[in-house]
Amino acid sequence: MAEEIKDLIEKIQQEGIKAAEDKAKQIEQEAKAKAEAILQKAQAQSTKIILEANEEVTRREESAKASIRQAARDLLLSLKKEINLMLERLITLSISQALTPSEIAKIITELVEKFGSQTKEDVLVLLKKEDLEKLKNEFLGRLKEETKKGITLKPSQDISGGFIISFDAGKSHFDFTDKVLAEYLSSFLRPHLNQILNGVIQDK
C-alpha cells in the first residue's frame, strides 16, 4: 500500500513538472510571439516616421526654394520699377539742362516762323520765372525782330523747365515742358529697357 502511494506521488510530481514545463514553454512561445509582433510594429512605425520626416523635409525645402524664388522675383520687379523711375528722372534732368534760355529762344523762333503766320494774334509763351527773366532780358527783342511777331511772356509755377507756346491767345497750345518731353522720350526708351529687364527676371 505504501509502495502504491509512493508511486502515485511520483506520478503526480512528474505530471506536475511536465505540466509546468509545458506551461513555461507556452508562456515562452507567447512572449516571443508578442515580442516579435512588438518589434515588427516598432519597425513599421519607425519606417513610417522616417518616411514622413523625409517628406516633411522635402516639403520644407521646396517651400523654402519657392519663397526664395518669389523673394528674388519681387526684388527684381521692385528694381525694374526703380530703374524705370530713374530713367524718367535722368531724362527729365537732361532735358531741363538742355532747355537753356538760349535753346528755348531758338525753338520759339523756329516755331513762330513756321506757325506764326497762321494767325494774327500775338504769340503767348508760358515758362518758369527764372527762364522768363533771362529770355526777356537777353532774347525777347531779338525774337520779335527775327519773327516780326508780338511775343508775350508769362511765368507759370507749374512749369519746372521748357515752355508752353500758344498762337491763339491760349485757346490751344504746344507743350514743350521738360515733363512732357521726358514722357515722350520715355515712351520710346521704356519698352527697350523693359525688354532687357524682363529677360533678366525670366532667367531667374
Cell of 136: 526777356
Domains of the chain: total = 2
Task: Note whether 115 and 59 are same-domain residues.
Answer: no
C-alpha span between 180 and 163 (Å, rounded): 10
Q: Is residue 21 part of a domain?
A: yes
Quote the pLDDT of residue 9.
62
Task: Note whether 99 and 186 are same-domain residues.
Answer: yes
- Would you give per-residue pLDDT tens digits along the chain (204 residues)? 566 666 656 666 666 666 666 676 777 787 787 878 777 887 878 788 888 878 888 888 888 888 888 887 887 778 778 877 887 888 888 888 888 888 888 888 888 888 877 777 788 999 999 988 888 887 778 777 777 777 888 999 999 889 999 988 778 888 999 888 888 887 777 777 677 766 655 555
What is the pTM assigned to this prediction? 0.55
Task: Note whether 121 and 186 are same-domain residues.
Answer: yes
Task: Note whether 99 and 184 are same-domain residues.
Answer: yes
Task: Note whether 98 and 40 are same-domain residues.
Answer: no
DSSP letter (8 states) at residue 98 = H
Cell of 134: 533771362
Quote the pLDDT of residue 58.
82
- The last residue of one of the domains, among 68, 84, 119, is 68
Task: Note whether 57 and 148 are same-domain residues.
Answer: no
Task: Note whether 62 and 148 are same-domain residues.
Answer: no
Query: Phi then psi for 100, rounded to 5 degrees?
Result: -75, 160
DSSP letter (8 states) at residue 171 = S
Helical H segments across the chain, by residue range: 2-98, 101-115, 129-134, 140-147, 178-203
C-alpha span between 182 and 1 (Å, rounded): 134
Task: Note whether 48 and 130 are same-domain residues.
Answer: no
Residue 132 burial (CB count, 10 A): 21
Q: Is residue 144 part of a domain?
A: yes
The range of the structural domain enclosing residue 55 comes to 1-68
Task: Note whether 121 and 188 are same-domain residues.
Answer: yes
Cell of 132: 522768363
Of 181, 184, 147, give the one whose Cα is nearest residue 162.
Answer: 181
Task: Note whether 51 and 102 are same-domain residues.
Answer: no
Quote the pLDDT of residue 126.
93
Q: Is residue 179 part of a domain?
A: yes
- The last residue of one of the domains, among 21, 52, 68, is 68
Task: Note whether 47 and 97 are same-domain residues.
Answer: no
